[in-house]
Structure 1
Amino acid sequence: MSVEPDPAVVEGLDAWRSLPAGQQPQWPDQDALAAVTARLEKLPPLVFAGESDALRAQLAAAGRGEAFLLQGGDCAETFAESTADNIRNKIKTILQMAVVLTYGASLPVVKMGRMAGQYAKPRSSDSETRDGVTLPAFRGDIINGYDFTTEARTPDPQRLLEAYHTSASTLNLIRAFTTGGFASLLRVHEWNRGFTTNPAYKRYDEIAAEIDRAIRFMAACGADFDALRTVDFYSSHEGLLLDYERPLTRIDSRTGLPYDCSAHFLWIGERTRELGGAHVDYFSRVHNPIGIKLGPTSSGDDAIALMDRLNPTGEEGRITFVTRMGAGKVRDLLPALVEKVTADGRPVTWVCDPMHGNGITSATGYKTRRFSDVMDEVAGFFEVHRSLGTVPGGLHIELTGDDVTEVLGGSEEIDDEGLARRYETLVDPRLNHQQSLELAFQVVELLRRA
């Protein structure tokens, strides 16, 4: 039996339109935008409310220390790179990391991709100037093109429809890969055995051998490996472009409550979490689990105020705080933040984003990060929570399943000159496949020291 939505609830979904909305494009043709958003409103949802509810329960478990979140994927997805091979390789990488973390943490791992919607990116400036020519900044494929031409850089509402259809095809492949045997525990374990045959990763042989013994023990005990052929895999992206998120909002027929059906999990970025802003208002009105990025300028009072707006009743699994402090600051700044939120008493899930606070420019001019800094922030995150008796609930990683060279270091020892070999990102640098797996094995080592 369907529940009729409260008209006031539906009307409130558009309250954000009268509020300051940062990081939004200047659409040149409002009529074209209206036609596109009207079309999006009538298209089927990309995900279902019940799936988001299931994820919220799993995030609540991660907040209690009964599960661990692994969220990974591209800094910014592109339409051209949303191919079957690229999607498969990202899923493969996340699944490989999840098996290692499941063993190391002795906890179920919640698997979530920055996939099927991560097409918009915040920028530090609305425009870009080259050789005396100023054009709008590239804000991601959902808004404009990367080429530095007037035609490419002009925001085009038709890209919202392309984002929807690309997301739909991506989700279709994700579901096929994660339910059709590709995600089988035995298959993923074999991939990881191949990883540790590389001499660069011999230090992880012991952990890999332990996992191998555990798999063989399960087999000897008659474990039902057919039941381990499928996994739950959730989609997420930054809820940045409100002209996309609002048209994809649907009323759940079971409850009469609104959900943003563009993804299971949306997060509010560091640049758009103003209490009186449009993003906080909009996401306070939908019932998805919500992430909030907190950087080094975030205070405990900021976090409490955001909880008051987004989760006043303290529903478990509703709020995930994703901290991005930087390796040099996490041990100094995170404790006060965690202590203030913990004292409040309402539950949250704490997740570490070790990528965004550690950006540098290489000697050769590339925007990059050091693998050692990424790992140091992860280590600091675990140390802070261990010292306070709170729960480190997960990791939020920018990664790709390909062998790009965008992050310095790791056992492959990518150096300044090596960045030029395969530097492919259009926005921020990502861990490649090998670096991502190395991170997972190093996190196991951290867990063992806990």
Structure 2
Amino acid sequence: MPPSKLDEEYVQNSFHTYLKSSLTQAKAERLIEDQVLASAEADLMISGPALCLYFAALRCTTNPPSVPLPRATKSAPPLELSADNCPPAFLGFLAVWGATVPRIQGLVPHDQHDLARIICNLPPISIPANTECAGIAADLRAVAIEISQRRTFQDRYASDLQAALDAGSSSSGLKVKTSFVPPPVYSDLLSPESSGYGYKKSPSPSSPSSVLSAFPSRTPSPTILTQDTPEIDFIRETLYSALAAVLEQITASPSHNPHPLARLFRHDPPRAHFAAVSLAILEVATTQGIIIPDQNAIMCVSAREPGGHKLTPNACPEPLRPFMMELIAVGRDAQVMQDEDNEATIKVIERGDADIPEPRFERVKVIIIDGVRVCGDCADNGSRARKRSLEGRAVAFANRVNALGLSISRIKAFRDREKEVFDVLGPRP
């Protein structure tokens, strides 16, 4: 008789227990500062859970890897989370984490510390840095992104941050409060129990003014990035137009072969929302003429300017500049990736090979929708090693896009109207 699966809520509670201690430990080791915990910047939603997975890997003593779970009572027997008893929703996470455990434990101590720094977007201390660390960090951050997209995580994340902030005493003696606010809830619009799909008519991506005109007017938010801030308007119009294009791909897919994002909207609406935003960022990044890398600018869609509006980071308010700079960088790297994919395909065809490899850029899209998975083709010889390298680069790039999606959702002026976007453009049960 197979072992029974653990209760999903019990595993979630255990993870948050470890996340609080991991954030507290990271704070003590100066990997994360109090102001970062308080600001709850978007990347902390990734680096925090990734650090939790990293510390769990260091403590692991079993083969295959498993995670000791906190005891419900002092008299309760010890219990470990393994592939045998893991709830189905977390099996993928456990498998990717388990594949990193021997790689993490095989690092020398200073490389392990560098790995923790890379997870937190800090530069490694060793020169040159161990290249293995970047690949491991990418895998852990990819799992962390999937965890952070779960609504059950978002609803409890603020208390995890606050517990880490409350640990130890601050120099001023004042209690610092975290500013984290969960994103809007989309699951009330998209019922996973629905047996079918109906879709509202999406505004045409070529007519972005129709996208914004469908939204009710709102009182400007009390922030530098208000609804009347021209720069955030330009970015919103551009992203919402791209989001319309992404969601219309769902409506265009036949019912017998639905778009992967359509399936995700049915089974996991919160993750589908994040995936749609990330795919919209990719749409902006790769649409001809929008990202202008050599001018460090974005040609934004504008209902008021038919030819578009050229926007640079320097023209934006300070809170918007990091997002703008990363969006331009992602666009530049996405265009390079597509060029490399085309060159690789041409070379394969010229050699007469019948097996054309999946373009790395398409692999990025798959990871954004389906999440990271364990690669079974990881032997250290020739072509297999190269496949692992290409997969690692695809995971790292997908992480950047997903992190950018989390960042834009953290900007209040965008977040306040994001729910309205899905009211207008999103699929309905």
TM-score by length of 2: 0.30
More strand by share: 1
Given the two structures, how large is their TM-score scaled by the length of structure 1? 0.29
Structure showing the higher helix proportion among its residues? 2
